[in-house]
Structure 1
Amino acid sequence: MKIIRIVVYCFLLGLMSCNTQEKSKETTGVEDVTIKEPKFKYWNWITVGHKKSDSAYTAHFKKLKGYGIDAVLINSGADPKLLARVAPLATEEGLEVHAWMFTTNRPGDSIALQHPDWYMVSRSGKSCFDERPYVNYYQWLSPSHPDARKHILSLIEGLAKVEGVASVHLDYIRYPDVYLPIGLLPKYNLKQEEELPDFDFDYSDASVEKFMALHHKDPRKMENPAIDIEWKNFRLNEIKSLVNEAYTLVHKYDKKLSAAVFPYPEMADYMVRQRWDKWNIDIVLPMIYYNFYNEELDWIGYATAQGVEDLKGRPTDLHTGLYTPKLSPEDLKLAIQYAKDNGASGVAFFDDYTLTDEQFEVIKTSKE
């Protein structure tokens, strides 16, 4: 009898368990399904505005998803209201949304423009407030100015608060180009074989005073500031500390931090004072635009592998950024493969508005 009672008891327990599972399904209406992160993610950088209709954005996002895109990096001009309008349209089509913003380069920033002292200054004494290096949209705020920094962080926080955003994506999180990519120099009729005064930043009062308080020397009076390691390291650390503050901030809202960066850390350090392998950051998208550097297509693989190696042991994913206007469909296919073969977690395309139908077909086919 005792054995029979045990058997009946086990049967009843099993029946209760089945009923509980059925009730759980009835309550939720669906079975518990976990959405898996794609093994190799495909991203697009995209700029949005107020003029396009919701239906037009929905059609565009539907197209992107249909061709295999997993995530969109949306530049709303750091406007959280515009982002809050557009982001749900993307997520409804199955796309992950990342809030893309210009960070230390803030062209046309109406708040910053009320404060000329917030801007970076070159060694030749030119302020980005009114004399901009290379192009008119280079208006760089100093990460050393406490109010400029607060302003940047407030913009980051505004985007982090938007529901449905996976990460805040920092672009132009650096100093102006000390050295342009070699392939772009002819466009500006320049030779850059040393750090030139017009392109060496930041000699603003805020930056110099902060540096002098730490190291008791004035970079404005150095005979050759390019070889002063403390001065170089100070600027690397100013960007690093800004990123680390942003990381803490966005994580308060359960968001990740991502960034568009130069191809690999040593190059980024040399060219734009950006040492991204030392940052607290979740995801980096190095812009491996090989043609800007007069390199061959397989350099995409080299630069990807270098970045992956430099991040070893750090909790940061790397996704290779590709400049699609200069890639034929055949080269795009190879570029994606170079990124895959060299350890990238995905590829990002700049930008989707210029992608041809042939390129979209390559992207779709490469996912299958």
Structure 2
Amino acid sequence: MENSYQNKLSMKLLKIAFFSLALIFVSCNTKVKSKEITESEASNVIEPSFKYWNWITVGNKKSDSEFTAHFNKLKSNGIDAVLINTGADPKLLKRVTPLAKAAGLEVHAWMFTTNRPGDSIALQHPEWYMVSRSGKSCFNKDERPYVGYYQWLSPSHPEARKHILSLVEGLAEVEGVTSVHLDYIRYPDVYLPIGLLPKYDLKQEEELPDYDFDYSDASVEKFMAIHHKNPREMENPAIDMEWKNFRLNEIKSLVAEAYDMVHKHNKKLSAAVFPYPEMADHMVRQRWDKWKVDMVLPMIYYNFYNEELDWIGYATKQGIDDLEGKSTELHTGLYTPKLTSAELNEAIQMAKDNGAKGVAFFDDYHMTDEQFEVIKTSKE
């Protein structure tokens, strides 16, 4: 009797052990499947085949509910991504990023880069600023080119560069941001867009000394150490290719450092640039087709250049051709205050037809209901 009881007990224990193992297996398998589903769902998040971006500036005066209302409005009207200018303030960016993402928008941290108007840290260091061939410094209020907010830091000054990159990193550290977006990543306009010249009563048929930068000590000394000649003593520095190329490379290397920095934080680097590379080179020392950058948003504001609407297609295609073989995406920038609804519709189509991956609207809260309707309809 005792052996029989023990045998039955052993059988019961084996059954319990078997069912326990079965339950563990099922539980683990369910978790694996659940994980697989989650990963599968994540991988199936569909990136828009043609992205719609919107540049906006934010401050601390608006409430969270006001921001949310605006972000919801953008999303409901077809916008996929927002480029948010917080004045390079990571605290403000941390506040608004979750609000934009909750509305279904991708967030990009837009910052002024070499042009740093009102930068309280930089303004403590006059030696950080660019200087013109005529000896005028962007530090001095009455010597700045064109407008008072043109306060350009020299990418050749090690501490100025370090400061700029610290701002880039501060934005890259914010959770939820897709890219840090560099604006004013260039030198001051040696040539203004032709449509803007009458505003300043200017003729620019050559590189004028007041608008040719950077003759600061840091820049000149760095150039001389490489090329053993002084740009301040050149009879015609505009035709010295080493001097021009030096400045192109100073911006290029700054972009490369920013790229490496943001990628360490698993973010991308994007940039607002002049319409196409050859034009950017000529006007502002910016050869962006040679940059290490994930996305470029050329500001193809045709009316600034006294061009016709179809120039949007031309400039888009030129940039696409110059980027051939590179992984850099191009998204055409449009200046909406000067576009009628019909023109906006045509501009979007020209960007699509000429190879752009999307369009970015410089709106900053000025988009009309009619323009929003065009954007929304163009996505359907």
| 2:337 match | 325
Report how far residue 36 of structure 1 moved: 1.1
Trace 1:66-81 onto structure 2 (pairs within 5 A): 66-81=76-91
Distance 2:235 2:108 in 1: 44
| 2:264 match | 252
Deviation digits for residues 100-158 of structure 1, max 9, x if unmatched? 00000000000000000000000000000011100010000000000000000000000
- The answer to whether 1:142 aligns with 2:142 is no
3-state secondary structure, aligned to 1:319? strand
Distance 2:273 2:349 in 1: 21
Task: Name the amino acid aligned to 2:372.
Answer: F
Q: CA distance change for structure 1 residues 261 and 18 in 2, over 3 Å: closer, same or farther?
A: farther
Trace 1:33-52 onto structure 2 (pairs within 5 A): 33=41, 34-52=44-62
Q: CA distance change for structure 1 residues 70 and 209 in 2, over 3 Å: closer, same or farther?
A: same
3-state secondary structure, aligned to 1:307? helix
TM-score, normalised to structure 2's length?
0.90
Deviation digits for residues 206-240 of structure 1, max 9, x if unmatched? 00000000000000000000000000000000000
Distance 1:172 1:336 in 2: 24
**Structure 1 vs Structure 2: percent identity of aligned residues?**
80
Task: Name the amino acid aligned to 2:243.
Answer: W
Task: Name the amino acid aligned to 2:215.
Answer: Y
Report how far residue 28 of structure 1 moved: 9.1
Please report the RMSD computed on the Cα atoms of aligned residues, expressed in angstroms. Answer: 1.7
Distance 2:34 2:116 in 1: 51
Structure 1: gaps spanning 5 or more residues: 1-15
- The answer to whether 1:111 aligns with 2:128 is no
Contact 1:25 1:31 in 2 (8 A): no
Contact 1:324 1:355 in 2 (8 A): yes
Trace 1:89-168 onto structure 2 (pairs within 5 A): 89-130=99-140, 131-168=143-180
Report how far residue 94 of structure 1 moved: 0.5
**Equivalent pairs, count:** 353
Distance 1:44 1:357 in 2: 15
Contact 2:154 2:214 in 1 (8 A): yes
Distance 1:98 1:91 in 2: 11
- The answer to whether 1:341 aligns with 2:353 is yes
| 2:376 match | 364
Q: CA distance change for structure 1 residues 36 and 193 in 2, over 3 Å: closer, same or farther?
A: same
Contact 2:57 2:364 in 1 (8 A): no
Bigger CA radius of gyration? 2
Q: CA distance change for structure 1 residues 17 and 276 in 2, over 3 Å: closer, same or farther?
A: farther
Distance 1:355 1:279 in 2: 31
Distance 1:281 1:104 in 2: 16
| 2:250 match | 238
Task: Name the amino acid aligned to 2:139.
Answer: F
Q: CA distance change for structure 1 residues 179 and 17 in 2, over 3 Å: closer, same or farther?
A: farther
Q: CA distance change for structure 1 residues 265 and 26 in 2, over 3 Å: closer, same or farther?
A: closer
Trace 1:169-180 onto structure 2 (pairs within 5 A): 169-180=181-192
Contact 2:132 2:215 in 1 (8 A): yes
Trace 1:301-316 onto structure 2 (pairs within 5 A): 301-316=313-328
Contact 2:88 2:111 in 1 (8 A): yes
Report how far residue 32 of structure 1 moved: 3.9
